[in-house]
Amino acid sequence: MEEIVIRVGDFLKEHINNIVNMCNDNPTEFENLQNVEYAKTTFGLRANYSFFKKLSLFNDNPNIRYYAQDYYINGEKYRLTSQFGGNAIIEGKTTSQYQGEKIYEYLKIYNLLLDKYENKKIIFIAGNNNENTINQENNFALKFNPLNQILYGSPGTGKTYNTINKAIEIIDSDFYQQNKYNREALKEKFEEYKKAGQIEFITFHQSFSYEEFVEGIKAETSEANISYEVKSGVFKKLSNKSLQNFNQSNENIKNKKDFETVFKELILDKLKDDEKLEIRMKKSSFFIKEVDENKISFDKSGGESQHVLLIKNLKNMYEAEENKIIIGGLSQYYNPLLEYLLKNSEIKNTDKEPLKNYILIIDEINRGNISKIFGELITLIEPSKRIGADEEIRLKLPYSQELFGVPSNLYIIGTMNTADRSIALMDTALRRRFHFEEMMPNSSLLENLVVDGIKIDNLLETINKRVEYLYDRDHTIGHAYFMSLENLETKEDKKAELENIFRNKIIPLLQEYFYDDWEKVRLVLGDGFVEKIEVKSDIFDEDLIKDSEYLEEEKFIYNIKKEFDFSKFKD
């Protein structure tokens, strides 16, 4: 990984405009950085005027003192007051590597440093040109990976393909760097993390709902009983899993045995010795008589009629350490059983776990109703509102009434097809909270592909120039449509596959883009693919032709040719 050594003062000077503009132009959006007050400095402008006029207000005092603006960066107050020998003076103290890193981390959140510092290791140093003052390299690699990002572009540009790369890079950057060109190794590692529950992959569609994404109520029926269970959605499950790791990585915590162990010790093993297990309630008892894979069968103390409790409900309660799932009559049986398990779960100390990153990939994120699906999460996913951030927020969920927050080790990667919906039409709240990375057709990936004398990279560039002229850049053709040609060896197979790509993929896509305007399709591809045929009106009855308003003097129809002619795309 390439290293960049940066003097903190130089870094501040370079990016001071970004800091000030964010503060002054939109103080409500950038809550971590606010212009809070003005403090009159004790020295004049003199030679520093050109630099400090960008961040200072001036009064009418003939002495022309200036007011330095104080800022909050991630909850700490900073005052930029001078610039000497590569150092910025902040609150009267010379900046250090630590201060440089903090400012870097803040700017990183708002995507201001991506292009210049992406995939670089940043080493901050403090001091002036005197070598004695340059000390202590910081050895951590600052890799820019936004917590929320969307890969967007036209069809076939590798958006979904690259989600695998992004996910592995975030979870295990060393493995990614060593295997970035080994697709099979990346896919294998991706599947490994999916099975381990560290990566979830979902696709949004028009009927996808908040209940599937966050939580909803589901009715459960067993014999004569109906109960209502709050069921967690895919995002809530992954968020809770990542939060558990986040907490366990930050401190030595007390933990209980897992549910399966406690259930076996306190219920299954005891049923082996006795016909039934008594669970005491406030004024009476009930008796567990039988347990299968899914349910616990029990009798009330006053009769022999059998009732059931669902094991999965009990497990969810045990993990939450309270019953916020069952509403209704059965709660009077769940609650004492839960209390019995928790009381005997042998709390023990556990060591710290290594912090892991978790990934939620949302394919076709723009196809869903964003406001409906995300609900209150639209606020919780903001980097500054995540659990562990300075302005951490937790909100009460509507069904479970649980306080819920999103930890800082959960990353969201979305994909968006701009041919379906322009980025300009995206929900404003979503746009503001996501980093957008454009993925355009990359013809250079096809530069070694030649089929029957046709350079595929040139063919793609020509087609896309025409599409962009007739429509726009959001509807260009992606390089991925042609990647299947790489795996073929014979000329005949390559030519057949190229014809198949145009007949079954490119032409239908253009037909959709131009709403069956075949003249535009023909302009994009040329005469070698679509033929224009004039149809005479003499095919109709002569007596009807004169009076009919539907018949034109000239009429053309368009046919897709049985054999394609690629000759005009040859060099």
Per-residue pLDDT reduced to its tens digit, 508-540: 999 999 998 999 999 999 989 999 888 877 777
> Residues with Cβ < 8 Å from 124, sequence gap 6 or more?
6, 7, 8, 11, 96, 97, 100, 101, 104, 138
Reduce the secondary structure of 465-520 to three states and give it as a string: HHHHHHCCHHHCCCHHHHHHHHHCCCHHHHHHHHHHHHHHHHHHHHHHHCCCCHHH
What is the per-residue pLDDT for 83?
34
What is the per-residue pLDDT for 37?
41
What is the per-residue pLDDT for 299?
85
Distance CA 414, CA 360 (A): 8
Per-residue pLDDT reduced to its tens digit, 382-398: 988 998 887 889 998 99
Contact 485, 498 (CB under 8 A): yes
What is the per-residue pLDDT for 53?
37
Write down the mean pLDDT value for the chain.
Answer: 76
What is the per-residue pLDDT for 536?
77
What is the per-residue pLDDT for 305?
67
**DSSP code of residue 529:** T
Per-residue pLDDT reduced to its tens digit, 224-240: 677 778 889 999 999 99
Is residue 254's pLDDT more than 90?
no
Concatenated DSSP letters of 136-147: -----------S
What is the per-residue pLDDT for 91?
34
What is the per-residue pLDDT for 12?
56
CA 570 to chain centre: 42
Q: What is the pTM of this model?
A: 0.62
* pLDDT interval class at 116 (50, 70, 90): low
* pLDDT interval class at 359 (50, 70, 90): very high
Residues above pLDDT 90, as percent of the chain: 33
Contact 506, 564 (CB under 8 A): no
Is residue 122's pLDDT more than 50?
yes
Highest mean pLDDT, choosing among 106-115, 178-187, 254-263:
178-187
At the topology level, CATH places domain 148-212+354-438 in Rossmann fold (3.40.50)
Contact 68, 79 (CB under 8 A): yes
Average of per-residue pLDDT across 283-306? 82
Distance CA 335, CA 563 (A): 73
What is the per-residue pLDDT for 204?
94
Distance CA 467, CA 456 (A): 16
What is the per-residue pLDDT for 225?
73
Per-residue pLDDT reduced to its tens digit, 71-91: 544 445 554 443 332 233 333
Number of C-beta neighbours around residue 414 at 10 A: 24
* pLDDT interval class at 59 (50, 70, 90): very low
Of the candidates 372, 315, 304, which has an alpha carbon nearest to the alpha carbon of residue 338? 315
- For the chain, the C-alpha Rg in angstroms (whole number) is 32
User: Residue 411: enclosing H or E segment and its boundaries?
Assistant: strand 410-417
What does residue 179 show for φ and ψ, rounded to 5 degrees? -125, 20
Is residue 297's pLDDT more than 80?
yes
Extents of the domains making up the chain: 2-133, 148-212+354-438, 255-349, 443-569
Per-residue pLDDT reduced to its tens digit, 177-198: 889 889 999 999 999 999 999 9
Distance CA 457, CA 442 (A): 9
What is the per-residue pLDDT for 273?
77
> Residues with Cβ < 8 Å from 145, sequence gap 6 or more?
166, 169, 170, 411
Of the two residues 261 and 46, the one the predictor is more confident about is 261
Question: Which of 55-69, 88-102, 388-402, 460-474 is the least confident region?
Answer: 55-69
Of the candidates 462, 412, 455, which has an alpha carbon nearest to the alpha carbon of residue 441? 462
* pLDDT interval class at 242 (50, 70, 90): very high
Locate 88 and state its tokens. 């910025």
Taking the CA of residue 470 as centre, how many other CA atoms within 13 Å lie in the half-sphere pointing to its CB? 21
410-417 and 358-363 as β-strands: parallel, antiparallel, unpaired? parallel
Locate 220 and state its tokens. 């459960």
Of the candidates 313, 315, 222, which has an alpha carbon nearest to the alpha carbon of residue 264? 315
Kindly tell me the sign of the dihedral angle through the C-alpha atoms of 382, 387, 390, 392.
positive
Distance CA 241, CA 235 (A): 10
What is the per-residue pLDDT for 215?
92
Average of per-residue pLDDT across 166-179? 90
What residue has token string 């960066």? Answer: 73
Distance CA 424, CA 153 (A): 13
What does residue 480 show for φ and ψ, rounded to 5 degrees? -60, -25
CA 223 to chain centre: 43
Of the candidates 173, 262, 240, which has an alpha carbon nearest to the alpha carbon of residue 230? 240
What is the per-residue pLDDT for 294?
82
> Residues with Cβ < 8 Å from 453, sequence gap 6 or more?
570, 571
